[in-house]
Structure 1
Amino acid sequence: MAAVIAAVGAASAPARSARFRPGAGEVPAPPVLAVARLAWPSYLGATGFMLGVTTLDVVVPAQLSRLGHDPAHAGLLLGVFALTGTVGGLVYGSRNWPGSASRHALLLVLVLCAALGVLPLLPGPWAIAALLAVAGLAGPPALIARSLTLQARLPATAAATGFSGLSAVAGLGASLAGMLAAPLLRSAGPAATLVTAAAVTALAALVGAAREARPPPAPVLGGADGTSTEG
């Protein structure tokens, strides 16, 4: 997953280098707050997504222990998630899919949320591995679709700022999961932790998708120079 985030950051490099190319007609960077007003639905979705994925890292060992299996096997199970995620990302990026990227992101994140909610019901490692294989196919494509949605909402002059923010909030989501999942795991157990993470991730995705379905606030970024036109 970190590799996907790095790729998202790298995608902004052409826009960044073009913006700062020396010579006449340089385009100034738009205000950060103006970019955030356009990008916050994607930021919210990415934060929730990474919270859900990182919760898996925290909870799967505890769930295996609860079922009477060696928690060290969690590394293998999460490796399955990462492996199928690589496949899913390559397949998603290899062609154009019907529908909007925003809808893809929502549907794929809901698949991940369903996996989080079902995982506590599974009887053993093999069933968990199968579930994580399916969830992995949806994981990286969801984040790729999220970055494509952001790209469509931002003018070219705001790409570097927007994608830098996307990488930052993805890290924030992972950090929040690390801080919140461990105490919840100790107090309420693996099942409650996974269901809570699924609910928070789904809520973030639904709120972000609802806002993306509406036209962006106007005017937020103005004209070819990328400066704010807000009053």
Structure 2
Amino acid sequence: MSYRDVASRQVLWWACTAVGARMPVAMAPLALVFLMRERPGGYSLGAVLAAAFVIGEIVGAPVLGLRLRHDRARAHLAGGLACGAVGFTGLGALPGAHPAVLCGFAVVAGAAPAAATGGLRTLLTALVPERATAQALSVESMLTAGVWALSPAAVAGLALGVAPRVPLLLAAALMASSVAGLWLLPSAWGGDGADGADGADGGRPTARSLLRLLTGAWPVYVTGAAGLALLGLAELVLPALLEQRGVGVGWSGPLLTGMAVGGGVGGFVHGLRAWPGRLRTRSVVLMAGVALCVTTAALSPGTAGIAAALVVGGALQSAAMLTRNLSLREALPPHALAAGYSVMYAAASAGYAATGSLAGALLRTVAPSTAVLAGVGLTLVLTAVGWWGEVRAAGASPQDAGRAPTVLPGDVRAAASGSVPGPVSGSVSGVPAVAGPEGAAIRGGGDPESGL
């Protein structure tokens, strides 16, 4: 198990395509604020446009994710990314348009490419050997951390140094380049498990059966939402917290960059070895660590303490999200993973927005540190609910624990690498393979392909 298994030309092309697809998303909220700040009521309008963009993501990810098909992956992703590029182009080319028109462009820019995250993640895991899944997801985590670390500086520099519309036009160009990059990658990913799995006609699964599978994985989504909620809490309240501590607000950028770099380091370290314990247990421990770091940042009197807490919290949060992605692979059969990742993306975005809204409302009446602590309490409740749901689902399906695994045609590669799901010894992708309820799917269906 090594990062060497991930090093290939196709993964490099995937990384270039993913940067083109994701950097516009990371740039969008701040770019919209800069775009509108010189108009009357500009900051409020910028916030509204950013909210419209996020709402588009939350709605578009599950709706479009449910329509993704492994045999037409390139066409689905290219269409969404192309429409997203049009949305960004409209925002950058028509900054003086009526607010309703700009909101429409923002919704399109957020919603149309929202399923790309899940589709590209599924495609990445199809490009590497089964045993390297954890390393592939770690590479994705490092790439995402780099994008989020670079985006704020790029937006601020271009908006202030060139023109407010330039960041959005750059976002449009990057997203258009990701459409071209798709043609350097396979046109589809493996559809193992799609045939004969829950389909009404014995073939492609129905929308209802797919929705049932995704709904059954709700505990993973809840914990995933809690993870990004803590990240959003730290980002959105940090300027006010610095003011409370008598620190210049200009430190917000470097501190958030440090947190993103910490996330990249956390993703890299997570992929170096196999970690002990059940995924759900590791996730709770990591989330508790992130909550402790955010609490420490809220209570620290100086910049050094806040910086250290955010860097460590970013590393732990990255590892926590990796455990959630691995748990989702256990909870869903392969044909449902792209849709599952899209729903996870929507849930995480909703968690980010909900905690940010809570903190924003509390800032009107309480100190920033108190608002942070309230947000931490909310995320700990979400984490506990998600953990309880996973434990309950695992305990509710003991009949699946002793079932012998069936090796389907799609399992040939896994069988060749010694990683067929089921009661075998050793570990796969950094996750111990064990018999018993832990190996059962969260949905309780006992699908033989639901393990890593």
Give the alignment's TM-score, normalised by structure 1: 0.84
Q: Report if aligned partners of 1:19, 1:28 keep a CA contact under 8 Å in 2.
A: no
- Equivalent residue, structure 2, for 1:68: 246
Q: Which residue of the other structure, out of 7, 12, 34, is the alignment partner of 2:122?
A: 12
- Equivalent residue, structure 2, for 1:128: 306
- 1:1-231 → structure 2 map (5 Å cutoff): 9-13=119-123, 14=126, 17-19=189-191, 26-28=203-205, 31-216=209-394, 221=445
* Structure 1: runs of 5+ lacking an equivalent: 227-231
Q: Report if aligned partners of 2:358, 2:375 keep a CA contact under 8 Å in 1.
A: no
Rg (Cα) greater in structure: 2
Distance 1:109 1:71 in 2: 27
**Greater relative contact order (Cα < 8 A, sep 6+):** 1
Q: CA, structure 1 residues 221+177, in 2 after alignment: closer, same or farther (shift >3 Å)? A: same
Distance 1:186 1:157 in 2: 46
Shift of 1:200: 1.1
Distance 1:120 1:88 in 2: 21
Distance 1:113 1:8 in 2: 26
Higher normalized helix content (fraction of residues): 1
Q: CA, structure 1 residues 91+9, in 2 after alignment: closer, same or farther (shift >3 Å)? A: farther
Please give the secondary structure, in 2, of the residue aligned with 1:12: helix
Q: Report if aligned partners of 1:9, 1:167 keep a CA contact under 8 Å in 2.
A: no
- Equivalent residue, structure 1, for 2:44: none
Distance 1:156 1:221 in 2: 14
Q: CA, structure 1 residues 9+128, in 2 after alignment: closer, same or farther (shift >3 Å)? A: farther
Please give the secondary structure, in 1, of the residue aligned with 2:273: coil
Distance 1:117 1:222 in 2: 39
Q: CA, structure 1 residues 129+145, in 2 after alignment: closer, same or farther (shift >3 Å)? A: same
* Structure 2: runs of 5+ lacking an equivalent: 1-21, 24-113, 128-187, 197-201, 398-442
Q: CA, structure 1 residues 47+223, in 2 after alignment: closer, same or farther (shift >3 Å)? A: closer
Distance 1:64 1:98 in 2: 38
Q: Report if aligned partners of 2:118, 2:339 keep a CA contact under 8 Å in 1.
A: no
Q: Structure 1 stretch 61-70 or stretch 29-38: which is displaced more?
A: 29-38
Distance 1:52 1:72 in 2: 21
The one-letter code of the counterpart of 1:171 is S
Q: CA, structure 1 residues 182+222, in 2 after alignment: closer, same or farther (shift >3 Å)? A: same
Give the root-mean-square deviation of aligned CA atoms.
3.2
Residues paired across the two proteins, number: 224
Between the two proteins, what is the percent identity of the paired residues? 29
Shift of 1:136: 1.6
Q: CA, structure 1 residues 114+222, in 2 after alignment: closer, same or farther (shift >3 Å)? A: closer
Shift of 1:186: 2.2
